Amino acid sequence: MTQEFSDATKVIKTTTKPDPATGALNPPIQLSSTFAQPDLDHFGKYDYTRSGNPTRDVLEDSIAALEHGTRGFAFATGMAAISTAFLTLHQGDHVIVTNDVYGGTFRLVTQLLPNYGIDYTFVDCNDPEALKAAFTPKTKVVYIETPANPTLKVTDIKQVVRITHEHDALVFADNTFMTPIFQKPLDLGVDLVLHSGTKFLAGHSDILAGLIVTKTKELGDAVYFIQNAMGATLGISDCWLLLRGIKTLGVRVKAEAESALELAKWFQEQAIVEGVNYPGLTDFEGHDIQFSQATSGGAVLSFDIGSEDNVRKLVKELKIPVFSVSLGAVETILSYPPKMSHAELSADERHERGISDGLLRLSVGVEDVDDLKADFKQAFEKIEAANLVR
Ligand SMILES: *Cc1c(COP(=O)(O)O)cnc(C)c1O
């Protein structure tokens, strides 16, 4: 697959396929559940859309090419992709999952997989001794996510791969935060990559989607069987919208990451800000590992303004960021993990993971960075003035 091109070219070349019959640049939205067969003895490439569809094929080939994998798969949501990946396991198997995993993945691993006899251990996957100690003879998969949400803690992918492969298990990596533009886990030895396509890949806060890319043909065959058997495939119109999103993925995430770095540095200088988490900052703990395995700090950062009271005021005063869950969109999205993504944790559990009461997560969009700075500046000034009066 067009691996000789760089990603900036590939996002266009893999999503644009002129139709030999009409010259149409974009793959048609093939809204057909079934495909007519020539006769009893000759069956075409496609028979039924759950098993395969030409529009979905273009999307699956595109993400496979971008992630340097053998095969890509599109699902209805990120969680459908993650569920499918875990269904490659069998009763009696054990998985090791990184501590700072996405909340939906935590719920799946702790509340659903045990019903099917799949056991789990949570561990800090960046601590080699703790990771080694977590293996059992039944461990089949180590599941990581880096940088983690919302602390942006970086995990050393190559180290996890080395330890895991020594134990004859596979590494699955959720690459939603970095996208293949900044980080290619399969090149670092990971066996299966996951995406919530809902975030950066779609990029416009419109559709839900999930993707898997496998390194080997064998794992690809196993995932294909489950995709077809379980049936949580991505709708064909949404495949087309995701292809549309991927065309601008490169320019969007680069612009967003540039603004994120500028904002992270600026936040560090503000009196009200007690701490900034962003892998692009040279004094951030995981910075060196980040830049040994990725080409950017990404477009997501988090910062602490001291108290829930200050957060409440900030949300009221800001004019540009949307206050909501989710991330990876053209709009700058501000979220408050203690009451949103991490509301299910107790206060103690949150604090243990570095999620303090004043912590906000910011997914930087494509707005003008000076406008964003000015907006935060006026809001911080209002909070400081209000706090003085009191
Ligand atoms: C949003 C998200 C998911 C889940 O994806 P959905 O499309 O919402 O199902 C998984 N992992 C990460 C890192 C996410 O941000």
Q: Determine the Cα–Cα distance for residues 1 and 7; give it in Å rounded to an integer.
A: 12
Tell which atom from ligand 1 comes closest to the C-alpha of 81: 9
State the sign of the Cα–Cα–Cα–Cα dihedral 282, 287, 293, 298.
negative
In the predicted structure, residue 356 carries a pLDDT above the cut 70: yes
On the question of a common fold for 7-247 and 250-389, the answer reads: no
104 alpha carbon to ligand 1 midpoint, in Å?
A: 7
Spell 252-285 as b/e; 16+ CB within 10 A means b.
bbbbbbebbbbbbebbeebebbeebbbbbbeebe
319 alpha carbon to ligand 1 midpoint, in Å?
A: 26
102 alpha carbon to ligand 1 midpoint, in Å?
A: 7
Pairing label, strands 192-196, 210-214: antiparallel
Average model confidence (pLDDT) for the chain?
96
In the predicted structure, residue 2 carries a pLDDT above the cut 50: no
Tell which atom from ligand 1 comes closest to the C-alpha of 328: 15
243: region left, alpha or beta (phi > 0 left; psi from -120 to 50 alpha): alpha
- Catalytic residue (choose from 153, 199, 215, 361): 199
CATH superfamily of 250-389: Aspartate Aminotransferase, domain 1 (3.90.1150.10)
369: how many CB neighbours lie within 10 A of its CB? Answer: 19
Residue nearest to ligand 1 atom 5, measured at CA? 78
pLDDT digits (tens, 9 = 90+) for 130-175: 999 999 999 999 999 999 999 999 999 999 999 999 999 999 999 9
200 alpha carbon to ligand 1 midpoint, in Å?
A: 11
Q: What's the pLDDT at 390?
A: 66
- Nearest-Å Rg of the Cα atoms of the chain is 22
272 alpha carbon to ligand 1 midpoint, in Å?
A: 31
In the predicted structure, residue 235 carries a pLDDT above the cut 90: yes
pLDDT digits (tens, 9 = 90+) for 88-139: 999 999 999 999 899 999 999 999 999 999 999 999 999 999 999 999 999 9
Q: What is the assigned CATH class of domain 7-247?
A: alpha beta
Sheet-wide strand order for 359-363 = 275-277, 300-304, 359-363, 333-335, 322-323
The pTM score is 0.97
Structural domain boundaries in the chain: 7-247, 250-389
pLDDT digits (tens, 9 = 90+) for 252-261: 999 999 999 9
State the sign of the Cα–Cα–Cα–Cα dihedral 142, 143, 147, 153.
negative
Tell which atom from ligand 1 comes closest to the C-alpha of 82: 10
CB-based contact 176:200 (threshold 8 Å): yes
* 199 a catalytic residue: yes
CB-based contact 61:1 (threshold 8 Å): yes
* 336 a catalytic residue: no
Residue nearest to ligand 1 atom 1, measured at CA? 196
- Catalytic residue (choose from 10, 102, 215, 350): 102
Q: Determine the Cα–Cα distance for residues 60 and 213; give it in Å rounded to an integer.
A: 8
Q: Ligand 1 — pocket residues by CB below 6 A?
A: 77-79, 102, 104, 145, 149, 174, 176-177, 196, 198-199, 208, 210
- Catalytic residue (choose from 17, 46, 50, 119): 50
pLDDT digits (tens, 9 = 90+) for 125-134: 999 999 999 9
- Catalytic residue (choose from 174, 238, 304, 357): 174
pLDDT digits (tens, 9 = 90+) for 204-233: 999 999 999 999 999 999 999 999 999 999
pLDDT digits (tens, 9 = 90+) for 13-49: 999 988 888 999 999 999 999 999 999 998 999 999 9
pLDDT digits (tens, 9 = 90+) for 266-313: 999 999 999 999 999 999 999 999 999 999 999 999 999 999 999 999
In the predicted structure, residue 1 carries a pLDDT above the cut 80: no
pLDDT digits (tens, 9 = 90+) for 175-185: 999 999 999 99
